[in-house]
């Protein structure tokens, strides 16, 4: 697949998707306490997706109502209609004389275009059975939420979550330290988070994909950790996984790989192990654990390359050129 650069209008829609994904992830992270099951976290995510979907449907219906009113009341309504429909552009087909049944059909089609759904549920083969991945301690990624998997004091848990909204994917992950976490595990989590921040800082026009992997690898290995090689970051947009791949390592040093261009959107996601980088996938064909069963931490953000610099679409306090803070 050729790399798909996004327009400013598309980035604006991806930002909305990113903020919704980030908000739902925040809810799960706040709920990740001792005694809570990973299944409970999946239920929180499902509730958040349904809530966001209802809001989008209500917004479409309200804008359609306003457009219908404008086209009947104003002879020169084009400018006002375009302002109203900056997000829901399909509603511009509503004209004076459009029947109520046709308006309903247009609204339904626009709802399909902008619907909020899980990016994970049913993905790949075997179909992923949840809307979030919950990866505790030695689980690197793709842990499946379960009713009998109970979060304990001292655990570290990676929560990976993605949605489609307005037709665009937002993908984000965070490793949470639960209660009294050991100094060793705390340093691992902090290192993985810092490595992502180092990569984000380099998400600027003219830098290369290899610069990002080099930043993650250098910071992690300097602390005595290893970086997983079997799973990498990726472009994202109309599909969850688009070109280019974004490895968290480089065998050729920095200044290698594709140049970063304005409009490129990538999901950067370091997976940092306390031991070796080797992995094992369990019998459920999803859960990936460290082969040596030592701890692992995972962070991810969806980032747009803009003329101003990096824009972390899944971080509320980021603006174009300002990555914001964790």
Helix (H, G, I), strand (E, B) or coil at 131: coil
Strand 156-165 to 168-177 pairing: antiparallel
Q: Using CA atoms of 280, 117, 125, 236 in order, give the dihedral in degrees to the nearest 10.
A: -70
Alpha-carbon distance 139 to 295, whole Å? 7
Assigned token pair, 245: 């791949």
What is the pLDDT at residue 43?
Answer: 98
What is the pLDDT at residue 283?
Answer: 98
What is the pLDDT at residue 278?
Answer: 98
Strand 233-235 to 265-268 pairing: antiparallel
Assigned token pair, 248: 């968290």
Q: Secondary structure of 191-258 in the HEC alphabet? A: HHHHHHHHHHHCCCCCCEHHHHHHHHHHHHHHCCCEECCCCCEEECCCCCCEEEEECCCCCCCCCCCC
Please report, in tens digits, the pLDDT of each residue of the chain (326 residues total): 789 999 999 999 999 999 999 999 999 999 999 999 999 999 999 999 999 999 999 999 999 999 999 988 876 788 899 999 999 999 999 998 999 999 999 999 999 999 999 999 999 999 999 999 999 999 999 999 999 999 999 999 999 999 999 999 999 999 999 999 999 999 999 999 999 999 999 999 999 999 999 999 999 999 999 999 999 999 999 999 999 999 999 988 788 899 999 999 999 999 999 999 999 999 999 999 999 999 999 999 999 999 999 999 999 999 999 999 99
Q: Which domains does the chain have, with CATH numbers?
A: 8-18+117-312 (3.90.230.10)
What is the pLDDT at residue 208?
Answer: 97
pTM of the model: 0.96
């Amino acid at each position: 697949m050729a790399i798909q650069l996004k327009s400013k209008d598309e980035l604006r829609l991806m930002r909305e998707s990113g903020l919704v994904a980030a908000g739902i992830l925040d809810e799960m992270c706040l709920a990740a306490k001792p005694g809570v099951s990973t299944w409970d976290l999946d239920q929180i995510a499902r509730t958040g997706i349904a809530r966001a979907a209802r809001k989008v449907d209500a917004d479409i219906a309200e804008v359609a109502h306003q457009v219908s009113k404008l086209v009947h009341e104003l002879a020169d309504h084009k400018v006002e209609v375009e302002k109203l429909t900056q997000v829901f552009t399909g509603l511009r087909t509503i004209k004076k004389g459009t029947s109520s049944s046709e308006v309903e059909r247009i609204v339904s089609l626009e709802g399909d275009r902008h619907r909020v759904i899980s990016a994970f549920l049913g993905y790949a083969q075997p179909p992923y059975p949840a809307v979030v991945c919950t990866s505790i301690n030695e689980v690197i990624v793709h842990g499946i939420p379960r009713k009998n998997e109970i979060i304990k004091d001292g655990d570290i848990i990676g929560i990976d979550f993605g949605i489609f909204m307005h037709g665009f994917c937002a993908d984000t992950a965070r490793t949470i330290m639960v209660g009294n976490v050991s100094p060793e595990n705390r340093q691992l989590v902090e290192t993985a988070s810092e490595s992502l921040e180092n990569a984000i800082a380099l998400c600027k026009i003219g830098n290369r994909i290899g610069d990002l992997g080099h930043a993650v690898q250098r910071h992690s290995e300097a602390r005595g950790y290893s970086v997983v090689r079997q799973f990498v970051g990726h472009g994202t947009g109309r599909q969850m996984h688009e070109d280019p791949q974004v490895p968290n390592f480089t065998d050729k040093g920095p200044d290698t790989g594709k140049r970063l261009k304005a409009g490129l959107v990538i999901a950067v996601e370091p997976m940092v192990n306390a031991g070796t980088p080797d992995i094992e996938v369990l019998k459920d064909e999803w859960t990936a654990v460290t082969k040596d069963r030592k701890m692992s931490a995972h962070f991810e953000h969806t980032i747009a390359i803009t003329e101003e610099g990096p824009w972390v679409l899944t971080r509320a306090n980021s603006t174009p050129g300002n990555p914001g803070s964790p």
